[in-house]
Structure 1
Amino acid sequence: MREVNLKVGLTPKHPCSYLPGRLEQLLVLLDRELLCPEGYEQLLSAGFRRSGADIYRPRCQACQACESLRIAVNDFTPGRSQKRILRKNRDLRVRLSKQDKPEYFSLYQRYINQRHRDGSMYPASRQQYEGFLLCHWLPPVFVEFHREEQLIAVAVTDLLSQALSAMYTFYDPDEEHRSLGTFAILSQIQLARELSKQWLYLGYQVDGCRKMNYKQHFHPHQRLIDGHWQTMKDGA
Structure 2
Amino acid sequence: MTRHPTDHPQFYLTAPAPCPYLEGRQERKVFTHLIGQHAPALNDVLTHGGFRRSQNIAYRPACEDCRACVSVRVCVDDFQWTKSLKRQWKLGGDIVGARLPAAPSAEQYDLFRSYLTSRHEDGGMTEMSVLDYAMMIEDTHVETMVLEYRRKGTDSFLTGTGDGPLMGVALTDQLADGLSMVYSFYDPEIKGIGFGTFMILDHIMRARQMGLPYVYLGYWVDGSQKMAYKARFQPQEHLGPNGWVEA
Which TM-score applies when normalising by structure 1?
0.90
> Do the aligned partners of 1:121 and 1:128 also contact (CA within 8 Å) in 2?
no
Q: 1:206 to 1:30 in 2, by over 3 A?
A: same
Instruction: Please show how residues 118-197 of structure 1 align to structure 2 within 5 Å.
Output: 118-148=122-152, 149=163, 150-197=165-212
> Do the aligned partners of 1:68 and 1:203 also contact (CA within 8 Å) in 2?
yes
> Do the aligned partners of 1:51 and 1:133 also contact (CA within 8 Å) in 2?
no
Which whole-Å CA distance do the structure 2 matches of 1:27 and 1:176 have between them? 39
Give the equivalent residue in structure 1 for 2:160: none
For the pair shown, the structure with the greater C-alpha radius of gyration is 2
Any idea what SS the aligned residue of 2:115 has?
helix
Give the equivalent residue in structure 2 for 1:21: 24
Q: 1:226 to 1:80 in 2, by over 3 A?
A: same
Any idea what SS the aligned residue of 1:19 has?
coil
Which whole-Å CA distance do the structure 2 matches of 1:31 and 1:179 have between them? 33
> Do the aligned partners of 1:53 and 1:134 also contact (CA within 8 Å) in 2?
no
Give the equivalent residue in structure 2 for 1:77: 80
Give the equivalent residue in structure 2 for 1:104: 108
> Do the aligned partners of 1:12 and 1:25 also contact (CA within 8 Å) in 2?
yes
Alignment: residue pair count: 229
Structure 1, unaligned runs of 5 or more: none
Fraction of identical pairs, as percent: 35
User: How far off is 1:122 after superposition?
Assistant: 1.3
User: How far off is 1:35 after superposition?
Assistant: 5.9
Any idea what SS the aligned residue of 1:137 has?
coil
Any idea what SS the aligned residue of 2:67 has?
coil
User: Does residue 36 of structure 1 match 2:36?
Assistant: no
User: How far off is 1:30 after superposition?
Assistant: 5.1
Which TM-score applies when normalising by structure 2?
0.86
Which whole-Å CA distance do the structure 2 matches of 1:221 and 1:31 have between them? 27
Instruction: Work out which of the residue numbers 48, 55, 60 in structure 1 matches 2:51.
Output: 48
User: How far off is 1:188 after superposition?
Assistant: 0.3
Q: 1:101 to 1:128 in 2, by over 3 A?
A: closer
Q: 1:34 to 1:224 in 2, by over 3 A?
A: farther
User: Does residue 61 of structure 1 match 2:61?
Assistant: no
Instruction: Please show how residues 184-223 of structure 1 align to structure 2 within 5 Å.
Output: 184-223=199-238
Could you give the per-residue CA deviations for residues 174-215 of structure 1, whole angstroms, max 9, x where no partner exists?
115410101000000111111111211110110211111111
Q: 1:123 to 1:7 in 2, by over 3 A?
A: closer
Any idea what SS the aligned residue of 2:20 has?
coil
Structure 2, unaligned runs of 5 or more: 1-6, 153-162
The one-letter amino acid of 1:61's match is E
> Do the aligned partners of 1:85 and 1:178 also contact (CA within 8 Å) in 2?
yes
Q: 1:165 to 1:75 in 2, by over 3 A?
A: same
Which whole-Å CA distance do the structure 2 matches of 1:177 and 1:211 have between them? 20
